[in-house]
Structure 1
């Protein structure tokens, strides 16, 4: 597994990025008389102060907060929430990624590169052939289900996830392939529909399959979401267009997330990732309950039951990943050996899986 060790930091790169961004933002706002649009959309800027911290300190992008605020609280179309997620994360997650790279934090490079290639192929395919056929109601439900399952996973597995140290060493070609197929699937389905999600998929593969340390898994998930967001909003602007209202909300939120997401990267190292993940996990479950309550009439009893079953199905996938990871690292065979006094089969388990 290619994990680059910490070297001399180059934070001047991040400060240069900030100076350039705020110069361009000021020109867009004051040079084009858009200050009124910024002040009219101050609530989303306030919400993204929290969202950007979540984006930098957890494997959930800033859209994790921005999407439900726009869609559930402000009652705007889910398609606008999706496009806003792409737009706002293209600044917040990019700023956090530049901060991460400037500080030379360790990343799972082989899997990250595979996920990037999968995104390049999968995201346009999803934007063209998946997202247009998903109604607004089901965009909300897809978002709610995936984030709820992620929250529940952390509520009962947080001790194990937070205890990982370093990362299991597999073959880099294997890591690349896993990253590619995971990125392709997530980009074509979840991310193209909701504007977020590929970061959580990559994170899940790292912590459940590779037993990666959170200090490796979370920064890697931030970088892949930055890549997907910039690529997604650029592609939509060039070929399909974005929903009306995205630009005005982006103008208000962008200067907040440019600082907030890197702040999340920094602060979480001081207070620890476990408390932050638990807090966000509760939010993820809460937004599922909120969505089901808000859409209970449209969903009906059948839709509500299907949504709950979908959360269970996602958890089953996570548990399958975890079980596969146990085989890969030889945990299951090591326990059997300890119980029976058999031969050294841990390495054989890894070799056969690869």
Structure 2
């Protein structure tokens, strides 16, 4: 029997297909008709991400086009003042402050790709290029982050709320606010305020580079194991006291730094989470890089709002700062959601490299223009660098010990490995 005859034989021998009973066919049709069509809610749409931008832009267009009186309240209500009412603010916003508008485009991208707010760009540009005092640079930084960081925080709550850790967010807000208030009540030399910012960014660049490039990791061929305890730190009083006590101190320090340079709580939260919290608590309670980044955005947005409110209610914000804010607020409210849409992993890696270069470049510029041969400043810089490098070395030893305790081998740190880590997220 050839293949054709075999096929015909099977066809003849095959029993006829049974038809579905009418009741079954009717039930199938009803099930298909009753299935709701797959739709995307407005909350999940891309348009929902831009709601803060829409609100800010409407307010901004009103302010920039409508005729206004003097911004200085003392001039507005002083009959002897010869202050001239302002017309539209296009000229005041962009004639002197367009460099900040351009700079904050990059600031928005850095804020969207690293655990840093736009303040890492805003403060040095405001002080070193625009010519603001340290206090004015701080005021501008918190004002611009009030919009940019809270727009980013809204986006996180909308699309990635699961990344937020309530414990660390609430602690850094509750203990950060007293730090902000204490910092606002103390007078510090403008030079040391700028020095604090430069040291903060430089040392964080070291920490960020270590965590992303140099930190020990399991070998790719290692078999994942879990030997850590599932206990919460709350079940061990000494561990709980160390974890939550150090968190409160870090939050207070972050708030104090924010009150002086307009940024800092986000940096402190991220560094504390990876270098301290994750080394104290059991493996089940450790926080990921993405969770810490998302939490730092929300904390920085709220503390920026607190600082801005305190400064505004005491009438200490100058009109120059308001004009500069007006020239840039529309950029950051768009930049936050745009960054979330268009920043690919490859581009985020490039923005991290840009941050490393920016941190070094702005420190070199500050050292040449401001520090020069100031012995005290160099002692502060050297001491802080030694402390940070020593702590990172200690962290590396603990990480290697943890990897080996799980029966794994650390990944060999070669030039190829460094290049791979540098170019990937």
TM over 0.5: yes
2:185 pairs with 1:128: yes
| 1:57–1:273 Cα contact (<8 Å) kept | yes
Q: Secondary structure at the match of 1:218?
A: helix
- With normalisation by structure 2, the TM-score equals 0.67
**Distance in 1, Cα, partners of 2:204 & 2:268:** 10
Residue-by-residue CA offset, 1:58-102 (whole Å, 9 max, x unaligned): 111111101111212233212111111001111111111111111
Task: Name which of 80, 94, 106 aligns with 1:39.
Answer: 94
Per the alignment, residue 199 of structure 1 pairs with 266
Which residue of structure 1 lines up, in the alignment, with residue 149 of structure 2? 93
Which of the two has greater helix per residue? 1
Alignment of 1:155-170 (within 5 A): 155-159=209-213
After superposition, the Cα gap between the structure-2 partners of 1:314 and 1:191, relative to the gap in structure 1 and judged at 3 Å, is farther
| 2: CA distance, partners of 1:144 / 1:280 | 13
In the aligned structure 2, how far is the partner of 1:257 from the partner of 1:103? 19
Instruction: Judge conservation of contact 2:217–2:403 (CA < 8 Å) in 1.
Output: no
Q: How does 1:79-118 map to 2 (within 5 A)?
A: 79-105=135-161, 106-118=163-175
Residue 251 of structure 2 corresponds to residue 183 of structure 1: yes
Question: What is the alpha-carbon distance in structure 1 between the residues aligned to residue 168 and residue 376 of structure 2?
Answer: 39
**Deviation of the 1:240 alpha carbon:** 5.8
State the partner residue of 1:308: 382
Contact 1:119-1:184 within 8 A present in 2 as well: yes
Whole-angstrom CA distance in 1 between matches of 2:233 and 2:159: 24
Structure 1: which 5+ runs fail to align?
A: 1-7, 340-354
TM-score, with structure 1 as normaliser = 0.80
Residues 116/13 of structure 1: CA separation in 2 closer, same or farther (3 Å cut): farther
Q: Describe how 1:245-324 pairs up with structure 2 within 5 A.
A: 245-271=320-346, 273-297=348-372, 300-317=374-391, 322=395
When structure 1 is superposed on structure 2, of 279-288 and 177-186 the one drifting more is: 177-186
CA distance in 1, matches of 2:293, 2:344: 12
- Distance in 2 (CA, whole Å) between partners of 1:236 and 1:67 is 16
Structure 2 segments unaligned to the other structure (5+ residues) = 1-42, 68-87, 219-223, 235-239, 279-285, 409-425
Q: SS at the partner of 2:115?
A: coil
2-structure distance, mates of 1:125, 1:22: 34
Answer with 282-291 or 142-151: which moved more. Answer: 282-291
Does structure 1 residue 171 correspond to structure 2 residue 232?
A: yes
Residues 1:151 and 2:219 aligned together: no
State the superposition RMSD in angstroms.
3.0
Q: Could you report, residue by residue, the CA deviation over 1:273-307 in whole angstroms, capped at 9, with x for unpaired residues? A: 4443232122112211111111134x524433432
CA contact (8 A) 1:10 1:102 kept: no
Q: Whole-Å Cα distance in 2 between the matches of residues 337 and 44 of structure 1?
A: 50
**Matches of 1:74 and 1:230, distance apart in 2:** 23
In 2, Cα distance between equivalents of 1:237 and 1:161: 43
CA distance in 2, matches of 1:170, 1:276: 38
